[in-house]
Each structure stands twice: as structure tokens, then as C-alpha cells.
Amino acid sequence: MSDLSFPAGFAWGAATASYQIEGAVNEDGRKPSVWDTYCATPGKVEDGASGAVACDHYHRYQDDVNLIADLGFPYYRFSLAWPRIMPDGVGAVNPKGIDFYNRLIDALVEKGIQPAVTLFHWDYPQSLEDIGGWTHPDAHKWFGDYAETCFRAFGDRVKFWITENEPWCHAFLGSGVGAHAPGNTDLDLCYKVAHGLLLGHGEAVARYRGLNQGGKIGITTNHRYDVPYSDDPKDILATEQSNIWNAGWFLDPIYKGDYADYMKQRYPVPEFTEETSKLVSQPTDFMGLNFYEGSYVRWKDGAPNDAEQVPLHKSGETQMGWFRVPESLKTTLVKSQQAYNPAEIYITENGCAYDYPVVDGRVHDELRVQFLREYMAAARESIDEGVNLKGYFVWSLMDNFEWAFGYRPRFGIVHVDYETQVRTPKDSALMMREIIKANSLVPGLEFARS
């Protein structure tokens, strides 16, 4: 195998999330999620945007499946909307919600595309949030009931399950600093929410194991391993503390059964009982990693974790203000393998936001082409360093609703005209098609030069 080719059977995919693309928020029995409520609150989202229509995927899913097939992706990662399947979060199941996802899954399978399904990608039922949300003593059981409903409905065709997407974001951004739904600003609360998410993950894994459906299940985190700014012992300590908070907050309980001593000494993390520790740390089949940025860390008195983030270098700044740092992806993959030894790792999201126009039916997104090839090369290099990397999912299949940033950032490899809903594959999508076909980065290199 050359340095530019990937192992046989490598899982190439594109990723989306329900609230970001589906629209149809008031159709066929779906009830509000916390993101519907957040978007309706003035000043929370750029330009007052929401996912009410988004990419209208609910009505255009067949065309989108055809597009995924045309681009040659063997996997498609998407999430299920909990309030579409169980509108009140608990109790009655909505048959029209089940029917929609059955149609989508069947369309994918018919095209030979394997569905990779996320159970929770932040659109939490508002009805459950109103009575305590993830901090409620029964929250993990609510999630377990929802998860089991999904496993029973779709598990005959879905063999790749992700329990939760980036629980750090939902806990810290959603309940710690209020930058995401549900919009709470309580740093003590966010650790309770995080604990509830961990218990929910464990409950979902237990329910899946109990059904013996023969697929894979894991969780996706957006953890990162940064590097010290210098060899000063204080910079090294700040980096260690920052990495425990960024990665270990969720991964230590999942892989080791408890929070690190540093987390317990510095933050108000709840305690695990023997029972809940076993629940959360049940073996999973893979580690999912969403990766977007990395930095140096240096000591700063009074800062969170005594850590200040310093750019590795300022190149390729995206619409999100993030820089192009593929070496940080490689570092995170290698350190994740060393720290937790997962049986498999999948990059479940990686991508960048750049805005390029459609000109004569084409989108020449050259910076995204460069970005993706560099990050895929870093991912490939990690395999040579012992990482059990089994797949790469690009974020995102198409431009979509980017949470509090509205529709300004464009992460898609497919351009979406939000007025007409016309989809136009960008050069990055055409490059991905050639890379997937060859299972090698060589076509990407040639594409980048063209």
C-alpha cells in the first residue's frame, strides 16, 4: 500500500444532520425541538434564521440520495430527529416520522449506500427540556426508549449507529455559555447535562446489545489534543489540563469508567456509582471523531484550565475563523489511539466553510479542495503510526443551516441555492468522487493541480 492509498474497505462517506437539512419542522406530527425554540428567540441566530425550511431534504430526499450515489459515496451519515419520531420525547411513536426515515433508508440501500445513523444530533424534544432535560433522573431511560424504538424500526438495514454527536457542544455551548440551544448560561449546569448525556449513551448501547442486531455502535466526540507552545513546564501542564477537559471529559468515563482526577478536583462533575460507571463504560465498537481545529497551548493564569489557545500558524482561515492545521488532526488521531486504544476510529466529520459562487454551472472551491486533500493525507499518515482508522466522512454533503451562524457559513461539497433549492456539486465533490473510486489520494493531487 502506497502512502497515498487507503486500506481495502475504507469507509468513505458524507455527513449531515436532521435539523440542519430536513426542514418541515411543523409537518406530519413533528413537534418542536430546543433548536426550534432557540431560533425563535430574537438575537440568538444570525439574521433570525432557523431550520424551518433548511435544504428541504424532507421533501427532496430522493434527489439527495441520487446525488450521494452519483458522487460515489458508499456511506451516508445522517441523524434522526427525535421529535419527529417521538414528538413528545416519550410515549407515542409518530408513524409518519418512522415512515419518512424508512423511505430514506430504503432509498439509500437501493443505491448500495450504507446508512450511518446518529440518534441524537442536538434537536432535543422541547417537551423534555421543559421538565429538566438531560438532568432529569429518567433522562437516560427516555433516550434509551427512543433509541430502542429506532433500533427496532431501522436496525434490519442500519448496521452503523452513533449514539450522540458532540455531547461537549450540547452540554457546554448549550447549557454552559448559551451559544447553542437550549441557551442556558450556567457552568455548573453544563456538567450535569454532560453527565446525563453520558448516561444516555450508555443506556443506548445497552439497549442495542440487548437486541443482538449485529451492527456497530459508538459515540462521536469533537475532542482534540493540542500541543504545548513551548517546553516550559507551565505550558506543558496547561496543555495536559486543557486536553483532559477537551478529550477526557467524555472519553475517560466511556473508556475508563470515571472522570479523571483533574476533572473531579477542578469542576463540579457528578459522581458515578458502580452501576452507572458500568453502564457508561460498556465496550463500544468504534470511536467517532469530528475534527475542525487545533492549536498550541500556553499557560495563562486565571484562564479556564490555566490555558490560552495560540494558533499553530495562520493559514487558510475559513468563514468560521479556523485555520488549516492538518497536522493537528494527525496528532489527535495518534494520541486518541494511544490513550484509549479503540478497536476502530472513524473520522465522522471533517470539513471547512468557504463561500464560492456558482459560475456557469460550476463551483471552483479551490481552498476546500486543498483543505480536504491535506486533511485526508494527515489521516492517511496516522494509519502508518498505528491508528486503527477505518473511515472518513466529509462535512458536509451540502451547504446547510449552521446553527447559531445561520446560513452564512457554507460547509458543503455541494452548493445549495436556498431560494431555488438547486444543488450544484462543487469541485471538492468531484474530487472526492475520484478519490473514493481509486481509494487513493492520487486523483486528489491531480485534481488540485488542474
Query: Omega of the bond prior to 50 within 30 degrees of 0, cis?
Result: no
The predicted structure's pLDDT at residue 418: 98
Q: Which residue has the cell 441555492?
A: 417
The predicted structure's pLDDT at residue 443: 87
**Beta strand ranges found along 99-165 (DSSP E):** 114-120, 160-165
Task: Copy the grid coordinates of residue 357.
Answer: 459562487
- 173 φ, ψ (degrees, to nearest 5): -70, -35
Q: Which of 22, 164, 308, 349 is catalytic?
A: 349
Burial (0-12, 13-18, 19+ Cβ within 10 Å), 303: middle
Spatial separation of the C-alpha atoms in residues 416 and 410, rounded to whole Å: 9
Reported as type and span, the H/E element at residue 340 is helix 326-340
The predicted structure's pLDDT at residue 3: 82
DSSP symbol at 217: E
The predicted structure's pLDDT at residue 444: 72
At the second CATH level, the architecture of 11-449 is Alpha-Beta Barrel (3.20)
Q: Which of 22, 129, 148, 166 is catalytic?
A: 166
- 161 φ, ψ (degrees, to nearest 5): -120, 135
The predicted structure's pLDDT at residue 447: 67
Pairing of strands 295-299, 307-311: antiparallel
Pairing of strands 389-395, 11-15: parallel
Helices 95-110 and 139-154, packing angle to 10 deg: 50
pLDDT in tens, the chain (450 residues): 468 999 999 999 999 999 999 999 999 999 999 999 999 999 999 999 999 999 999 999 999 999 999 999 999 999 999 999 999 999 999 999 999 999 999 999 999 999 999 999 999 999 999 999 999 999 999 999 999 999 999 999 999 999 999 999 999 999 999 999 999 999 999 999 999 999 999 999 999 999 999 999 999 999 999 999 999 999 999 999 999 999 999 999 999 999 999 999 999 999 999 999 999 999 999 999 999 999 999 999 999 999 999 999 888 899 999 999 999 999 999 999 999 999 999 999 999 999 999 999 999 999 999 999 999 999 999 999 999 999 999 999 999 999 999 999 999 999 999 999 999 999 999 999 999 999 999 987 666 555
The predicted structure's pLDDT at residue 2: 60
Task: Copy the grid coordinates of residue 262.
Answer: 483533574
Burial (0-12, 13-18, 19+ Cβ within 10 Å), 313: exposed
The predicted structure's pLDDT at residue 208: 98
The yes-or-no answer on residue 164 being catalytic is no
The predicted structure's pLDDT at residue 448: 57
The yes-or-no answer on residue 349 being catalytic is yes
- 368 φ, ψ (degrees, to nearest 5): -70, -40
